[in-house]
Chains A and B, each alone.
Chain A
């Protein structure tokens, strides 16, 4: 099964799992299996049908946007990584400043 690496900010929605094994023959199918296993992830990864623009998915070391996007083929030996944008560890500023 293909492995998907889950970044820290999203582990809240995967019961703390840092890596999830999924089935599927394309990046899109693999991600869809992931969101079926962990439905709370759906709104963080997708805006409707579309992968959110700030969600970066890498197949092994390559950005899938530069291959065939969600149609990119995956094999059970591949590792997908979701790379989040992180800014720092401070609490949200509007909370901080209250």
Chain B
């Protein structure tokens, strides 16, 4: 493979301590001293230090990669700990980058860790990616995936891809010099309305471990030049069925970025391309997507009206398994999941104000827009959903 020629291990030495540390690699002929020196000479950029980034960073550090770059601007929070095993309970509230760096250096102090505490954007991606041999995509959103892909194609870098959803994962190596890129498989992102929403989201905590470990394996194989890389193959993992399938990918001759006549030769506006924001610091807002176009009521205002004895109807449009986590049943709330609302119009009282609520306010805004089409007028969206209610009004409720 041509790729391994990029890394010159000639000038690399391993100390006695390193020889001992990497002994189980060195005694395998596929790695040996030459392969281990290549790993030490190599540099890998991890986009995201979250679910996929956690096992990636830990295994790549342990394997002796010389330089690891991490791009993440987030802060560790409790909801991360179920899967982001590089961070611990004591790290909650800390920068993910600092927490990850500490863990990496504890695993292997010989690794150089470069941190980029910024969102990856079209303005900084080329500069951040350029100094690395391999890029590993561990992001959680479409705009950053297309951005990472295009930058890698333009810069000629292999992009080790992994993606997870609920119990299902995908992995591949997109390396346009030798095979297809992400856009050859997915020329366009799904429109925002067809992207799974909160009600369908979630991820099995172990899943990023499985997929991240596959990505780490692929990166190491590329560096030492052994085995068959996942170039031109997409691996599909179903944790519930416990099956691995693979399908063959081909270069798309009409690919706008890696085809023979590319129309995308520099980075574009990926949030506009995908019609969705890439990160929560984004200035990009999808029209109406944040619920500010529907009438709202703040939790404290709702609480005052309930205290004053106002006759309100409170409709919770989450899923039954979310109702089990927290609900306002004691205040008269009742459950009609979002997708069933049209079948239960008869239960809604047009003569009273109807409060519609969900987890954090987006689904309930959608339901309100739908109900408005059916002639309902006295509708109010609970701002920030039950999580905001838990923060402002009732601290006995959990936040999820």
Interface residues of A (CB under 8 A from B): 7-9, 12, 18, 43-44, 52-54, 56, 58, 61-63, 66, 81, 83-98
Contacts and interface: CB of A to CB of B under 8 A. Distances in A.
A91 B198 contact: yes
Contacts of A89: 51, 140, 164-166, 201-203, 207
A48 to B, nearest CB: 14
A7 B168 contact: yes
Contact of B198 (A9, A85, A92): A92
A87 B141 contact: yes
Name the interface size band of chain B: 35 or more
A36 B238 CA distance: 26
Which of the listed residues A8, A44, A89 has the most CB atoms from chain B within 10 Å of its own CB?
A89
* Secondary structure dominating the interface of A: loop
Given A8-B168, A81-B245, A92-B276, 10 more contacts: A83-B234, A84-B165, A86-B168, A89-B140, A91-B201, A92-B195, A92-B197, A95-B359, A97-B280, A98-B384
Contacts of B234: 83
Interface in B242-258: 245-250
Interface in B225-279: 234, 236, 238, 240-241, 245-250, 276-279
Nearest to B250: A66
A38 to B, nearest CB: 14
Contacts of B187: 53-54
Nearest to A60: B247
Which of the listed residues A61, A83, A95 has the most CB atoms from chain B within 10 Å of its own CB?
A95
B190 interface: yes
Interface in B111-138: none
B277 A85 contact: no
B389 interface: no
30 contacts: A9-B165, A9-B200, A18-B240, A53-B188, A54-B189, A56-B186, A61-B247, A62-B248, A81-B236, A83-B247, A84-B190, A85-B142, A86-B165, A87-B139, A87-B145, A87-B165, A87-B195, A88-B140, A88-B164, A89-B51, A89-B166, A91-B197, A92-B195, A92-B196, A92-B197, A92-B198, A92-B276, A94-B362, A98-B362, A98-B385
Contacts of B195: 87, 92
Given A94-B277, A94-B286, A86 B164 contact: yes
Contact of A96 (B166, B168, B360): B360
Given A53-B187, A93-B277, A62 B247 contact: yes
B141 A93 contact: yes
Contacts of A63: 247-250
B248 A95 contact: no
B247 A18 contact: no
Given A8-B167, A86-B163, A95 B189 contact: no
A44 B190 CA distance: 9
A93 to B, nearest CB: 5
A56 B182 CA distance: 12
A54 B186 contact: yes
A85 to B, nearest CB: 5
Contacts of A53: 187-188
A95 B51 contact: no
Given A8-B167, A98-B360, A61 B250 contact: no
Nearest to A5: B245
A96 B278 CA distance: 12
Nearest to B204: A89
Nearest to A52: B190
